[in-house]
Structure 1
Amino acid sequence: MQYLRRIKGRLDGANQFEPTTCRMCVLGDWLYGEGQREANEYGEAMLVLFNALLVPHERFHQASEEALRCQQVGDEVGMQRAFTEVHTLSNTLVTILLQMDGLSGKVKYQPAIAECS
C-alpha cells in the first residue's frame, strides 16, 4: 500500500519516488528471501497462496515503471491505463496476503503449552 501511495504521489508530482525492482521492495525482500521457507511451515495451501503472489507482484512493479515512462513522454492515457493496472494488482496482492494471514492462524503447528499444577 505504501508503494502504491508513493507511485501515485510521483505521478501527481508530489514526490520524486523512484520505483524499485520486484526484488528490492519490502514484499519482494520477503518473497525472495525467507518467504517460501516461512510459507512452507504452514503447508500446501499456504504455498499455493505464496506462489500466487509472485506474478502479480512482478507485474505490479512493471506497470508502475510503465506508468512513469508514459508520464515522462506525455502519454496521459497510457499513464492512466498503467496506473489502473497498478491499482488492480495492488488489490490482488492485498487480497492474497489477507488470505494468507487468515490461513496462518488456522494451520501452523502450535506446540502444546504445559500447564502448571
Structure 2
Amino acid sequence: MNNNVFFIKRLNDHVQYLSKMKGRLDGLNQFEPCNCQQCALGGWLYGEGLNEVKPYGAVMEDLFQALFIPHERFHESSDEALCCQMAGDELGTRRALTEMHQLSNTLVSLLLKMDHISGKANLLPVAECS
C-alpha cells in the first residue's frame, strides 16, 4: 500500500467502526460489535502491523505499541455502552460513550503521528547510485 495513505487507512478503519457503533447506539442500525482482534484495525495490530512499522524505526514501534491498550479499552467501552443501553441504564450508556470517544481521540492522535512519521520518511532523499 502507498505509504502516503497507509496510516490514514488505519485511522479510517477505526472511524468507520466508531460510526457504526454510534449508529447502533442511536438505533440507526443493527451493527454487532466485535472484539479488539476482529475489527479491521485490530486485524492489522495483531497481524502484520508490527512488521509494517518496523522499517520506520523505534519511535514508530513505540507509537504502534501504544495503540494496543486504548484500542482494547475502546472495544470494552463499546460493549459496555451497548450493555448499558440494553439494560436501560442511560447514565451508564453516556459514560461508556464518553469513554469510547476519549479513547477514539487517543487512537486517532497516535495514528496521525504515525502518518506524519511515515510522510517524513517518504521525503528523505534517496542516495544516488554512481
Moved >6 Å (runs of 4+): none
| Residue 58 in structure 1 maps to residue 72 in structure 2 | yes
- Report the equivalent of 2:30: 16
| Residue 37 in structure 1 maps to residue 51 in structure 2 | yes
Percent identical pairs in the alignment equals 58
Say which of 107, 115, 119 aligns to 1:93.
107
Say which of 81, 86, 97 aligns to 1:83.
97
- Report the equivalent of 1:49: 63
Q: Aligned partners of 2:108 and 2:77: how far apart in 1?
A: 17
Aligned pair count reads 115
| Structure 2 counterpart SS, 1:56 | helix
Q: Which has the higher contact order (CA 8 A, sep 6+)?
A: 2
Q: Aligned partners of 1:104 and 1:73: how far apart in 2?
A: 44
Change (3 A) 1:110 1:34: farther
Please provide the CA RMSD for this pair. Answer: 1.8
In the TM superposition, residue 107 of structure 1 has moved relative to its aligned partner by: 3.5
Structure 1 unaligned residues grouped into runs of 5+: none
- Report the equivalent of 2:17: 3
Q: Aligned partners of 2:36 and 2:113: how far apart in 1?
A: 21
**Quick check: which has more Rg, 1 or 2?**
1
Q: Give TM-score scaled by structure 1 length.
A: 0.91
Q: Aligned partners of 2:25 and 2:64: how far apart in 1?
A: 30
In the TM superposition, residue 111 of structure 1 has moved relative to its aligned partner by: 5.2
Q: Which of 13-22 and 106-115 deviates more? A: 106-115
